[in-house]
Structures are given as C-alpha cells and as structure tokens.
Amino acid sequence: MIRCSRQRFALLATVAVFAFGTHAWAQGDGQRSKATGAWRLETAPDSDAQQESFSLVTSAVDNKDATFALGCRPSVPLYFFALHDTRLALPAGAEVTLSVRYPDAEPVRWQVTASGDGSVVLQERVHQTAFTLMLTSLRQTTVSTIELAVDDHRSTFRLDGFAASLAALIDACGSAPGPARANRKRSSPGPEGARRDQPDLRPPRAR
C-alpha cells in the first residue's frame, strides 16, 4: 500500500513538472519576436556549416517572381541585402548598379555584386557604407514602399513591418548587423576566405 502511494505520488509529480515545463516553454515561445507586416522569416541550410542561414523576406507587389531580403549567415557571421528577380541574367561576380528610390525622392545608385542565380547582393563587409545607409533608412523610413531596380528591371516592395520584424531576424542570427561587429569576427583573409563569405542564395533543392 505504501509502495502504491509512493508510485502514485511520483507519477503525479512527474505530470506536474511536465505540465509546468510545457506552460513555461509556451510562454517563452510566445514572447519571441516574430516577423510581421509584409515580411516573413525564412531559413535555409548553410552549405559551408552545420547551421542554418536566416532571411527576412518580402515579395514585390508588382512581380511575384521578385523578392527583397535581409539575410544572415551566423557561422561567418555576415549580414547582406539580396534582391532576387528571375528576369536578371547576370554572371556570378558581375558588378552591376542597384537603383533605390523612395516615393517622391530621387533615386540612389550603388554598385552591387551578382550571384549568378538572378540575385544581386549588398554585403555589410564589401559594401559597408551602402549597407549601413540602406539598413538605417529602412529602419527609420515613414514611407510605405521602396522601388529597387537593376538595369531596366524594376520592382516595388512594401516596407510595413520591417522595423518590427528585424528583431526576429536578430534573435535568429544571434547578433545584430553592423560592419564593426563583422570586422571583429572576420574570417581568415584571402581569396578562399572571401569565397566562403559569399552568401549562397540558391534555392535549397539546387544546393
């Protein structure tokens, strides 16, 4: 009888601990930052590390085949902006001009690097000034859209929710973007190190 009572007590205690832990986990999960507005958080396997890369992504309002993203590779670490448009036929490594225009403002043009898969990339290390200005303007802007163009291919993207969604990306990546942080944790220099730092923007099935 005593043994039975002890077993019943142990079982009830185990259930109570499990229930408490599940409740605490649910509360913690609910408090995590989440992407919102026009933005969504996506993950993809990192081809050079046993770790995932993360991207905050939005689709163009006028072209479903175009996306604009702020991504990170925690293993490097490295942040980058990426414009993907299936209409872009550019060889990997090509330097092209990215035009950025807010409503009722003159366009700003920066040199960016093509990835060879319909994407152009603005890295926080390679394009430090442009990356910092882009990130700062997206976080502080009060306008609702931005137009991005490479050559004659233009797409318009919604900005609502970017500033709030950035917290979700930073949580996933483990550190905030910023050239100073990237420089402190720079990987080994040289051509091989530079190639490792290039973000892999291919779809998961193509890797």
- Of the listed ranges 37-46, 83-92, 174-183, the one predicted with least confidence: 174-183
| Torsion angle (degrees, nearest 10) of CA 184, 185, 188, 191 | -90
Reported as a single tens digit per residue, the pLDDT across 161-203 is 999 899 999 999 999 987 555 444 444 334 344 444 444 443 3
Q: What is the residue extent of each domain of the chain? A: 1-31, 40-202
Its CATH architecture, for the domain 40-202, is Sandwich (2.60)
Using 50, 70 and 90 to split pLDDT, how confident is the model at 58? very high
pLDDT at 49: 54
* DSSP one-letter string for 117-168: SSEEEEETTTTHHHHHHHHHHHHH---SEEEEEETTEEEEEE-TTHHHHHHH
For the entire predicted model, the pTM comes to: 0.70
Using 50, 70 and 90 to split pLDDT, how confident is the model at 155? very high
The mean pLDDT value of the chain amounts to 75
